[in-house]
Amino acid sequence: MTEIRTDVLIVGASLAGAAAAKRTVDAGLHTVMIERKELPRHKICSGILSPRGYRFLQENFGEPPENAFHTPKWVTGVNFLFPNGLQLRMPFIPGPTPHIYRKFADHHVVKQSRAEIHERTEFRGIEPGAKDVLVRARRTGADAGSEEIVYRAKYVIAADGPRSEVVAKLYPTFRDSIYWFVVGQKYYKAELSLDPRWFHFTINSQLGYYTWSHEENGCQIVGYTDEHGEPWPRGHAKAVAYFEQHHGMRIREEVFKEGCLENFGMSLTNNFVFGKERVLVTGQAAGFLNMMAEGMSCAMHSGAIAGESIVESFTRNRGANQVYDELIQSERTRTVDQWNPLKILFDNPHEADLKAAIRKLPLSDRTYMVRQMLAYIGQFRGYSWLKPILSASARRLFLGRY
Ligand SMILES: Cc1cc2nc3c(=O)[nH]c(=O)nc-3n(C[C@H](O)[C@H](O)[C@H](O)COP(=O)(O)OP(=O)(O)OC[C@H]3O[C@@H](n4cnc5c(N)ncnc54)[C@H](O)[C@@H]3O)c2cc1C
Confidence of residue 1 (pLDDT cuts 50, 70, 90): confident
Gap from CA of 14 to ligand 1 centroid (Å): 7
16 CA: nearest ligand 1 atom: 25
Cβ-count burial 199-236 (b if 16+ within 10 Å, e if not) = bbbbbbbebbbbbbbbbbeebbbbbbbbeeeeeebebb
Tell me which of 167, 181, 296, 335 to substitute to probe ligand 1's pocket, judged by most ligand atoms within 8 Å of the beta carbon.
Answer: 296
Q: What is the pLDDT of residues 110-166, one digit of tens each?
A: 999 999 999 999 999 999 999 999 999 999 988 888 789 999 999 999 999 999 999
Q: How far apart are CA 276 and CA 81, in angstroms?
A: 43
Q: What is the pLDDT of residues 321-342, one digit of tens each?
A: 999 999 999 999 999 999 999 9
The candidate with the shortest Cα–Cα distance to 180, out of 117, 263, 303, is 263
Percent of the residues in the chain that have a pLDDT greater than 70, as a whole number: 100
Distances (CA, A) of 378 to 209, 371, 372, 382: 10, 10, 10, 9
Gap from CA of 327 to ligand 1 centroid (Å): 23
What value does the mean pLDDT of the chain take? Answer: 96
pLDDT for position 317: 86
pLDDT for position 145: 82
pLDDT for position 273: 98
Q: How far apart are CA 161 and CA 164, in angstroms?
A: 5
Q: How far apart are CA 17 and CA 300, in angstroms?
A: 8
Asked if residues 18 and 160 have their Cβ atoms less than 8 Å apart, the reply is no
290 CA: nearest ligand 1 atom: 11
Angle of helix 296-316 versus helix 15-26 axis, rounded to 10: 30
pLDDT for position 239: 96
Give CA 262 to chain center in angstroms.
9
Q: How far apart are CA 318 and CA 308, in angstroms?
A: 12
pLDDT for position 173: 97
The candidate with the shortest Cα–Cα distance to 389, out of 270, 274, 292, 291, is 270
Q: What would the mean pLDDT of 34-46 be, rounded to a whole number?
A: 98
Burial of 301 (0-12, 13-18, 19+ CB in 10 A): buried
Q: Is 261 helix (H, G, I), strand (E, B) or coil?
A: strand
Confidence of residue 231 (pLDDT cuts 50, 70, 90): confident
Element (H, E) at 300: helix 296-316
79 vs 231: which has the higher pLDDT: 79
Ligand 1 cavity residues, CB under 6 Å:
11-17, 34-37, 41, 43-48, 122-123, 159-161, 165, 183, 185, 223, 260, 262, 283-285, 289, 293-296, 299
Residues 6+ apart with CB under 8 A from 364: none
pLDDT over threshold 90, residue 228: no
Gap from CA of 110 to ligand 1 centroid (Å): 13
Gap from CA of 17 to ligand 1 centroid (Å): 10
Q: How far apart are CA 138 and CA 119, in angstroms?
A: 11
Distances (CA, A) of 22 to 19, 26, 102, 238, 321: 5, 6, 18, 44, 19
The protein residue whose alpha carbon is closest to atom 19 in ligand 1 is 295
pLDDT over threshold 80, residue 281: yes
Gap from CA of 182 to ligand 1 centroid (Å): 14
Asked if residues 335 and 290 have their Cβ atoms less than 8 Å apart, the reply is yes
The DSSP bridge partners found for residue 87 are 81
pLDDT for position 114: 98
Gap from CA of 161 to ligand 1 centroid (Å): 5
Gap from CA of 368 to ligand 1 centroid (Å): 35
The protein residue whose alpha carbon is closest to atom 41 in ligand 1 is 123
Q: What would the mean pLDDT of 234-258 be, rounded to a whole number?
A: 96
pLDDT over threshold 90, residue 222: yes
Q: What would the mean pLDDT of 204-214 be, rounded to a whole number?
A: 95
pLDDT over threshold 80, residue 380: yes
Give me the domains of the chain, ranges plus CATH numbers. Answer: 2-74+99-177+266-335 (3.50.50.60)
Gap from CA of 309 to ligand 1 centroid (Å): 22
pLDDT over threshold 80, residue 84: yes
The candidate with the shortest Cα–Cα distance to 307, out of 35, 24, 12, 6, is 24
Distances (CA, A) of 221 to 21, 186, 207: 33, 6, 16
The protein residue whose alpha carbon is closest to atom 37 in ligand 1 is 160
The protein residue whose alpha carbon is closest to atom 50 in ligand 1 is 45
Element (H, E) at 366: helix 363-378
Gap from CA of 284 to ligand 1 centroid (Å): 7
Q: What would the mean pLDDT of 178-184 be, rounded to a whole number?
A: 95
137 CA: nearest ligand 1 atom: 42
The DSSP bridge partners found for residue 257 are 186
The protein residue whose alpha carbon is closest to atom 28 in ligand 1 is 161
In degrees and rounded to multiples of 5, residue 82 shows phi and psi of -105, 160
47 CA: nearest ligand 1 atom: 8
